[in-house]
Amino acid sequence: MISLSIESARAHLEKWGRSADILEFDASTATVALAAQALGVEEARIAKSICLLHGEQALIIVAAGDARIDNRKFKDTFGFKARMLSPEQTEAMTGHAVGGVCPFGLPDGVSVYLDQSLARFDTVFPACGNSNSAIELTLDELETYSGSLGWVDIGKQAAE
């Protein structure tokens, strides 16, 4: 099992001089609701990392906190059915435990895409490798720092 966590995210973000901007909390930020509460922002602005299986590799979709995967859109975009990773697979394949998964400091072979559900915000808050961290980023920063392979439209808001 790979053990990367917050130190991996910190080292990754240091490439852009942003490691000191990681916010760490005494309270848990492991869920969208808890992260929003700790940060004092609406849940939708939490950039959650959804971990899926693509062959033998992890695929991460970073989406707004209020978005869910639309299975039809996902299959039309990627050509296969979305299948969530188990907590054990998530940690083994991304180096981050559930609740702290982020698109930073990932092992080679992990693909990251950004969902259009994020596009309505100027800044969003992804986790940074553990269940007590976050960083505020613009969408351009998120795209650059995550090494995103592009923007996709596979989300739907929970109310849809």
Indicate the domain borders of the chain: 5-154
Q: What's the distance, CA 80 to chain centroid?
A: 20
Q: Is 150 left (phi over 0), alpha (psi -120 to 50) or beta?
A: left
Instruction: Give the pLDDT score at 33.
Output: 96
**Structure tokens, 48:** 């959650």
**Structure tokens, 9:** 């995210």
Instruction: Give the pLDDT score at 156.
Output: 87
Instruction: Give the pLDDT score at 84.
Output: 95
Residue reference for tokens 């920063």: 141
Residues 102 and 71: their CA atoms lie apart, in Å, by: 22
**Structure tokens, 77:** 């975009």
Beta strands at 137-138 and 155-157: parallel, antiparallel or unpaired: unpaired
pLDDT per residue rounded down to tens, the chain (160 residues):
334 589 999 999 999 999 999 999 999 999 999 999 999 999 999 999 999 999 999 999 999 999 999 999 999 999 999 999 999 999 999 999 999 999 999 999 999 999 999 999 999 999 999 999 999 999 999 999 999 999 999 988 765 5
User: Which homologous superfamily is 5-154 in?
Assistant: YbaK/aminoacyl-tRNA synthetase-associated domain (3.90.960.10)
Beta strands at 151-152 and 111-115: parallel, antiparallel or unpaired: parallel
Residue 67 backbone phi and psi in degrees, to 5: -100, 150
Q: Which residues of 51-86 are buried (b: 16+ CB within 10 A; e: fewer)?
A: bbbbeeebbbbbbbbbbbbbeebbeeebeeebeebe
Strand pairing partners for 58? 53
User: Could you count the other beta carbons within 10 Å of the beta carbon of residue 107?
Assistant: 14
